[in-house]
Structure 1
Amino acid sequence: MTRFARGDAARAARLRDNLRTILDRTTDPHLRAIIQRTLDGSMSVRELARDPQFEQELDQGMSRFARWWEHLSPEQREQVVREGREQEAARREALGLPPPQEPPPVLGRTPLLRVDPDDHPDDDAGSGHGTAPGAR
């Protein structure tokens, strides 16, 4: 998993934790088997991600996340991203690793924090990127 995480031990640990969570929550025998094989190292993360049943499980989870995310205001989204980065930094510090080399989130400059133009019908830009409230 460290290789999949490009050598980042903290991200590999997080991936392992997430796979264990899925393993603990699913009753599907096939999913349990392939996740366990991945955790044991006999199946790669890439192979796991290409499994149609696992892909379907991920799609369902991402759909739930997308519905939740869409109900957040841009400010709430920014707060969620900030808290996630703080949690990641704390995990890395606990492992004795430096913080990730990522720029701080800026409203409107990342797909996760972009304001949906459908939320602002008076936005004439039509760029698909939206603008931050008050930045028109």
Structure 2
Amino acid sequence: MATMVFVNFPVKDLAASTEFYKKLGFILNEEFSNDQASAMVWDENFYIMLLRHEFYQAFIEERTIADNHATSGALIAFSMNSAEEVKEFGRIAEENGGNVYRIDHGIAEDVMFGLEVQDLDGNNLEPNWMAQ
């Protein structure tokens, strides 16, 4: 069995964040979603769990939820099928309130291309493509 990855993101507005991720191409898994969390499915191995701050807090106990607009705790990288798909992902994110910037790896774009995409709460995604 392949490993499944579940990334948990704290969000202030669950409904707005759920819609943002739907527009990016994630699918809402209703079975594992409720008024506290949305299970967003990219594929059979990669999920993002959007958790209301109060619910997220239960997992981290007394620690403080980071302001991801001011600090960075993680970069969640995942591969896409082409540089064009990465660019489209970034375009859709930006059109829907996300922040996007290019990662310059010093490698030609026809070999490797990636973006930093921040969601509405500043959580970081790194869609990327590499020639094989």
TM (normalized to structure 1)?
A: 0.34
Structure number with the bigger relative contact order (C-alpha 8 A, sep ≥ 6) is 2
Structure ranking higher in strand proportion: 2
Structure ranking higher in helix proportion: 1
TM (normalized to structure 2)?
A: 0.34
